[in-house]
Every structure is written in C-alpha cells, then in structure tokens.
C-alpha cells in the first residue's frame, strides 16, 4: 500500500493517517499549537531537515490543515497558520500528549502542564461520550457499519477489506 492510496481507504483512521501519520507532521502540529508559525522556527525547534520541513508544510497546506499567509512584503514572507480543520486536530494532539504524560514520562514528571482558562485549573483531557457525558472505554463501545461503509456488519466489512488486500 502506498501513501497516496491511504486517502481513499474507507476507514477514517486510514484517511487521517494519510495527513498526520508521520512523525514530522505530528511534531509540526504540536508546535503549531504552541504558536510556532515560521519556517525557521519550526526548523530550529524540531531539528528536522529543511527539505522535509518544506515538504511537510506543503502537504499540510494542501490538506487544508495549515494555510500559508504573508506576514511581510519586500521580500514577501509567509507564515503557517492552523485553519479550523487544523484547530480541530487539537483533541488528537492532546490525546497524544496525555498518553505520553501517563506512560512515557521519566522520573521528573511531565514536561508541560495545561491550564484551562475557563475554570482556571490545571487539567487532563478526558474523552467522553457526546450523549451521556461518561468517559469512554474501549470495552464499552460497539462498532456498527455506517453509511459510508459498504453494507454489512463490521465483520463483513473486515472480510471485504481482507479480500481486497489479497
């Protein structure tokens, strides 16, 4: 399977992974949420090669996650700003941060704390059910085929996917 073909997969994970499923894109996004906007700043903070950075920024722009906006003329220079589509990735980034904070910290503890301006407290992100508000646990979720799936149960879909892959 090639990168390009991921976008056309009938799975939302696969389609999202086509956008953010490489380490540099995720690290660039992290920095975007920390208000980093410019090429040089991304480059020096991340230590990514300029070549790859240019490529990833271009991709993120083409996916509509970032937009490239001029911030001066003579010479014209641009910065990279999260679109609404990009801002909507915040839960993804926060979920990743929280998992890292829980499972990958060293003895010194978490590197960053997050304050919720609304309530003024340091918080952890919690994923809850939009209907009942309870935290979501994998075992308490049942999966159904949606309209975007070819008809059938999750098992049938799995079987089709398997057949297609062969």
Partner DNA sequence: ACCATATAGTTCTAAAATAGAACTGTCAAA
Partner DNA sequence: TTTGACAGTTCTATTTTAGAACTATATGGT
- Please report whether residue 54 would count as binding a second copy according to CB under 8 A: no
Least Å from the CB of residue 40 to a second copy: 9
Instruction: Report yes or no: 30 and 1 within 8 Å, Cβ to Cβ.
Output: no
Least Å from the CB of residue 18 to DNA: 12
Among 55, 58, 111, 152, binds a second copy (CB under 8 A): 111
Instruction: Report yes or no: 7 and 17 within 8 Å, Cβ to Cβ.
Output: no
Vertex 7 angle, CA 100 and 24, to 5°: 35
Give how far the C-alpha of residue 47 lies from the chain's centroid of Cα atoms, to the nearest Å: 20
- Residues present in the chain in total: 166
Among the residue ranges 53-61, 70-78, 121-129, the one whose residues contact a second copy (CB under 8 A): 121-129
Residues that bind DNA (CB under 7 A): 1-3, 22, 24, 38-41, 47-52, 54-55, 57, 68, 71, 74-75, 77-79
Least Å from the CB of residue 80 to DNA: 7
Instruction: Report yes or no: 51 and 34 within 8 Å, Cβ to Cβ.
Output: no
User: From residue 23 to residue 42, what is the string marking binding to a second copy with x (rule CB under 8 A)?
Assistant: x--xx--x--xx-x----x-
* Integer CA distances (angstroms), 6 to 15, 28, 94, 112, in order: 6, 21, 24, 33
Q: In angstroms, how far is the first alpha carbon of the chain from the final one?
A: 11
- Please report whether residue 156 would count as binding a second copy according to CB under 8 A: no
Among 73, 74, 76, 142, binds a second copy (CB under 8 A): 142
Least Å from the CB of residue 165 to DNA: 10
């Amino acid at each position: 399977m090639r990168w390009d073909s991921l976008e056309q997969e009938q799975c939302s994970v696969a389609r999202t992974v086509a956008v953010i499923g490489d380490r540099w894109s995720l690290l660039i996004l992290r920095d975007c949420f920390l208000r980093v906007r410019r090429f040089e700043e991304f480059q020096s903070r991340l230590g990514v090669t300029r070549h790859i950075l240019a490529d990833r920024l271009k991709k993120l722009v083409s996916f509509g996650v970032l937009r490239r906006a001029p911030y001066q003329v003579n010479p014209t220079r641009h910065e990279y700003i999260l679109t609404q589509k990009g801002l909507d990735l915040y839960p993804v980034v926060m979920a990743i941060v929280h998992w890292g904070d829980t499972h990958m910290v060293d003895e010194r503890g978490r590197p960053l704390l997050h304050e919720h301006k609304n309530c003024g407290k340091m918080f952890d992100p919690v994923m809850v059910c939009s209907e009942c508000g309870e935290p979501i646990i994998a075992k308490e979720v049942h999966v159904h085929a949606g309209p975007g799936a070819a008809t059938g149960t999750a098992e049938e879909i799995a079987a089709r996917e398997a057949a297609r892959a062969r």
